[in-house]
Amino acid sequence: MAIELQIHGRKVTVDAPAAMPLLWALRDVLGMTGTKYGCGIGACGACTVLVDGKPARSCLLPIGELQGREITTIEGLAKDAELHPAQQAWVECSVPQCGWCQPAQVLTAASLLAQDPKPDAAAVDRAMDGVLCRCGTQQRIRTALKRCLGS
Amino acid sequence: MRGHIGLVTRRQLLLAGGLGGAGLVLGVWAWRKRKRRRIVPDRGAALAPSAFVAVEPDDTVRVWVSRSEIGQGVWTALPMLVAEELDADWDMVQPVQPLADDAYGQMGTALSSSVRSLWLELRTAGAMARTMLVAAAAEQWSCRAEECTTERGFVVHASSGRRAGYGSLVALAKQQRAPEEPALRARTDFRILGTDAARKDVRDKVTGAARFGLDVRLPGMLRAVILRCPHFGGRLVRSDTAAARAMAGVVDVFDHPNGIAVVARDTWTAMQARLAITAEWAQGAGAGVTSEGIAARLRDAAASPGTTVWSRGRGAAGLASTGTRLEAGYALPYLAHATMEPIHCTAWVHEGRCELWVSTQSPQAMQQAAARALGIARDRVVVHPMFVGGGFGRRVMDEEVLEAVAIARRFDVPVQLVWSREDDLQHDFYRPAAHHRIDALLADGTIRAWHHRVIAPAVVHHDAGPDFVCPVGAEGATDLAYGIPDAAVEYRHVPTVVPTGFWRSVGHSHTAFAIECFLDEAATSLRTTPFALRRGLLQGQPRQLAVLDAVERLAARQPAAGGTARGIALHSSFGSHVAMVAEVAREARGRIRVTRVWCAADAGFVVHPDLVRAQLEGAIVFGATAALHGRIDIQDGAVTNSTHLSNPLLRFSEAPQVEVELLEGAGEPGGVGEIGVPPIAPAIANALAALDGARRRELPLQPRG
């Protein structure tokens, strides 16, 4: 069945069952592979996208429940060729190793910065704890976030 | 159809037996040397004296990266080797991912060997191209080559002020003789090597543009999952697949050697259909097998002798001298790799050919595996290696390739096989569980004799006969750096049904834990400090001594916080030396927090310091995850903790603050990717003992719940 989603401000029609999670609609139907599969049960955070600006686990979000919601994936974070400040900080601090979890890390950080321009350490921990990184880039993520905050 | 190690053949593994990990490395290197005179693939108009480099007429320098980018930075470090000797403009250097091809020599990414094994070959490739470009300029300018120099992508004739960009010289340079053994730069002249050159992979990894194996999308591609027998050594008895077949979007459901394969139009439908299958399994050889039972078998086996794999002086006989005997046993669990990018392989079998798209650490072995499975020649198999979303040794195995090929040969379109996280954690090739027993003689304020027994199921050959000696089973215990005059190491394999494999730092990941914890126990018995005991035993080992002193100084600069304690550990692996101090604190409900870690490393000559720091920071989190949480629970031959909820990884807020000091590296580059893993677990355990006086002899350390 045809379901209409709003991705990066554009309406996109997806021919898929309403119960299909957004993760698979993005990856398998729309070919948008920047959003990563990690566990399928919302435990690792690799599939994080922003829904109305807030981080959400796309592996648990049926597309039938997303009408009228604005979806942002990693592909839509940079405006034209200009990187988002979080992406820029990630590059400058050489954060990624393998890189699989980094779209989710960057989106989570971008959302945090948009909602709380001066998060304290506890707020950073709360926001970032939901996305696992097996390579161990946590310290560099912290440094990159500090750079975004200008401290 | 459990797969086998893809990186080296069983025969090579056995041949390397007497040499351990170093032997494997040497084996790989010898293979490369024999193949040195390779055919250079056609590079069109470019100057390409080697398969690894092409200088294009538009000034672009392309470098073929023959090792897998698994996050360790080969897409940056390997092109740097070429760029240095070519005197290239780094901004004009573009890495290229080759297909599996013997033109690039051995392409396996393992043993922390990428930079070490290509250190000379890639620099030589760059120097050859530079020599030919200079010769071309000299011909054009009718001067002697010796009068010309190079400057970041230009040949320069200083006395006449002439300059020519490399690209403009390519056509003429192709006519020049390729030098066999061009002179390489003196290290004091390095301009790129030793710097934090801009990484080539990082931008695509923050924009979503990076394409990993699981991101491959091909026209008409189907998706597959396998319902697997949960019991190692078990089998399918009967199943009902009618409901799965009836689901919209399901293409086929059929038996497969590893269970029941489901093929569908998309991944989600394949996974939903898998849930709709009812299957009855026989436990087979897995019946009654538990992780506790295996641990007990290993512990019991430690009571009797194994095969002596290394000794010094009088060996174990030294224990009979006068002094105080100290003995302790250490137990470590099975561990999973849990790469963040799930295991997968896309295969397209058509017209007597096969194409594979896969995140792999060994493209040629995957090519070989597919060719063998399909009964076709190796050159009929095209392997597209992709960015790898975490390797850690898991992706040298060919299991998922064999599975994907067996499924895809039934279709004329590509099929992408995906393992779920549960598949991954239940059907990994685990770091073997291990039991260590160390018996030592303490006298004259130090350790005089050492007898170390390593009991661990063999890597890969988990079901080999009991006399099998795993060549990497006791690595890190043999060649003990500490100057104990009489020492011996025994190894014994215990056959089980649980599959095993290479896990970042392999044998070192458990031998270092036993050795470094025992040293602290000995220090307590001898009423000395862990630092002083190690220092005394490392006289004559200047590199180990230097990292030990460095880490002590580094940590001492930061005052201890109340309620914390520190522990030290040191280990050498893959040609490098690493010492760490871990600081721990106890939190509510008896939970442990690793607050800070200091690390000093001598990894020889360092190509890219920031990448080395990143690998050490990452290895500390990887190793601390294992030390605090890592375990595989097995009941009736089936893994029971198969999600990140029951098999947790260290979270953002749990990651320690890490400070790394790299020592001025002498000599050739050492390994980097694995060297930070071995010391962190014993440093944490030693810190905990310092905190409350209780020795930890079993991993993991974090209380459950």
Token pair for B109: 């990414």
Q: Å from A40 to nearest chain B CA?
A: 8
Do B182 and B121 belong to one domain?
Answer: yes
Which residues of chain A does B342 touch, with a Cβ-Cβ cutoff of 8 Å? 37-38
- Indicate if B482 and B584 belong to the same structural domain: yes
Smallest Cα–Cα separation from A93: which of A106, A80, A104?
A106
Provide the 8-state DSSP code for A38.
S
Same domain, B68 and B131: yes
Beta strands B415-418 and B222-228, pairing class? parallel
Are B400 and B452 contained in the same domain? no
Tell me which residue in B206, B340, B622 faces A100 most closely, judged by beta carbons. Answer: B340
Residue A79: closest CA among chain B residues belongs to which residue? B207
A40 interface with B at CB cutoff 8 Å: yes
Residue B697 domain flag = no
- State the total domains in chain B: 4
Token duo for residue B683: 């440093």
Residue B25 pLDDT:
37
Q: Dump pLDDT digits (tens) for B357-371.
A: 999 999 999 999 999
> Per-residue confidence at B39, pLDDT binned at 50, 70, 90?
confident
Same domain, B261 and B137: no
Contact B652 A83 (CB under 8 A): no
pLDDT at residue B180, rounded to an integer: 87
- Burial call B130-168: b when 16+ CB within 10 Å, e when fewer: bbbbbbbbbebeeeeeeebebeebbbbbeeeeeebbbbb
pLDDT of B12 reads 45
Sequence letter at residue B154: F
Q: Read off the DSSP letter of residue B59.
A: S
Query: Which pLDDT band, with edges at 50, 70 and 90, does B5 fall under?
Result: low
Question: Can you tell me the mean pLDDT for B206-230?
Answer: 98
Determine whether the interchain pair A83/B649 forms a contact, defined as Cβ–Cβ distance below 8 Å: no
DSSP B704: P
**Angstroms from A68 CA to nearest CA on chain B:** 23
Contact A97 B266 (CB under 8 A): no
- B194 with B243, same domain: the answer is no
- Looking at the structure, tell me whether residues B608 and B492 fall in a common domain: yes
Residues carrying CATH 3.10.20.30, chain A: 2-74
Q: Tell me whether residue B81 is in a domain.
A: yes
Q: Which residue has the tokens 């620099």?
A: B123
Asked whether the beta carbons of residue B266 and residue A24 sit closer than 8 angstroms, the reply is yes
How far does the CA of residue A65 sit from the closest CA of chain B (Å)?
17
Task: Summarize pLDDT for A70-87 with one digit per residue, the tens.
Answer: 999 999 999 888 999 999
CB of A97 within 8 Å of a chain B CB? The answer is yes
Give A 54-93 residues with CB within 8 A of chain B. Answer: 73-75, 77-78, 83, 87, 90-91
pLDDT interval class at B664 (50, 70, 90):
confident
Q: In sequence order, what DSSP letters do the residues of B559-622 get, joined into one string? A: PPPTTEEEEEEEEEETTEEEEEEEEEEE-GGG-EEEEEEEEEEE-BS-S-HHHHHHHHHHHHHH
Residues of chain A with C-beta less than 8 angstroms from the C-beta of B214? 33, 36-37
Does A37 sit within 8 Å of B342, measured CB to CB?
Answer: yes
> By C-alpha distance, which of B49, B197, B195 is closest to B123?
B49
**What is the DSSP pairing of strand B657-662 with strand B592-602?**
parallel
Smallest CA–CA distance from A73 into chain B, residue: B208
Distance from CA of A139 to the nearest CA of B (A): 7
Contact B268 A96 (CB under 8 A): no
Residues B462, B323 within the same domain = yes
Contacts with A133 from chain B: Cβ below 8 Å: 340, 621, 652
Buried b (16+ CB within 10 A) or exposed e, B447-467: bbbbbbbbbbbbbbbbbeeee
Together in a domain, B9 and B46: no
Q: Give the chain B residue whose CA is nearest to the CA of A127.
A: B652
By CA distance, what is A97's nearest residue in B?
A: B71
Residue B703 lies inside a defined structural domain of this protein: no
C-beta separation of B103 from B38 below 8 A: yes
Q: What is the tens place of the pLDDT at every residue in B615-656?
A: 999 999 999 999 999 999 999 999 999 999 999 999 999 999
Looking at the fold, whether B471 and B561 belong to one and the same domain comes out as yes
- B700: in domain: no
Task: Confirm whether B564 is domain-assigned.
Answer: yes
Instruction: State how far residue A91 is from chain B, nearest Cα, in angstroms.
Output: 6
Give B158-200 pLDDT, tens digit per residue.
999 999 999 999 999 999 999 989 999 999 999 999 999 999 9
Choose, out of A33, A135, A148, the residue to mutate when testing the contact with B (most B CBs < 10 Å): A135
pLDDT band at residue B248 using 50, 70 and 90 as cut-offs: very high
Instruction: Say if domain A2-74 classifies as CATH 3.10.20.30.
Output: yes
- CB burial readout B378-401, b (16+ within 10 A) else e: eeebbbbbbbbbbbbbbbbbbbbb
Distance between CA atoms of residues B425 and B130, nearest Å: 49
Residues of B in contact with A35 (CB under 8 A): 208
Task: Examine residue B295 and state whether it is found in any structural domain, yes or no.
Answer: yes
Spatial separation of the C-alpha atoms in residues B254 and B234, rounded to whole Å: 18
Does 2.30.42.10 match the CATH number of domain A85-148? no
- Whether B617 and A136 lie within 8 Å, measured CB to CB: yes
Smallest Cα distance from B281 to chain A, Å = 25
B380 and B295 within one domain: no
Residue B204 in domain = no
* A115 part of contact set with chain B, CB < 8 Å: no
pLDDT score of B339? 98
Q: Which domain holds residue B234?
A: 213-284+343-418
A5 touching chain B per CB within 8 A:
no
Given B376, B395, B418, which residue is the final one in a domain?
A: B418
List, for residues B474-511, the tens digit of each pLDDT value: 999 999 999 999 999 999 999 999 999 999 999 999 99
User: B432: cis peptide before it, omega within 30°?
Assistant: no
Residue B85 belongs to domain with CATH number: 3.30.365.10
Question: Is residue B4 in some structural domain?
Answer: yes
Mean pLDDT (whole number) for A35-55:
98
Give CATH 1.10.150.120 domain extents, chain A. Answer: 85-148
Residue B362 shares a structural domain with residue B251: yes
pTM of the model as a whole:
0.96
| Residues of B whose CB is below 8 A from A97 | 71-73, 614-615, 618
Report how far apart the first and last C-alpha atoms of chain A are (Å, whole number). 50
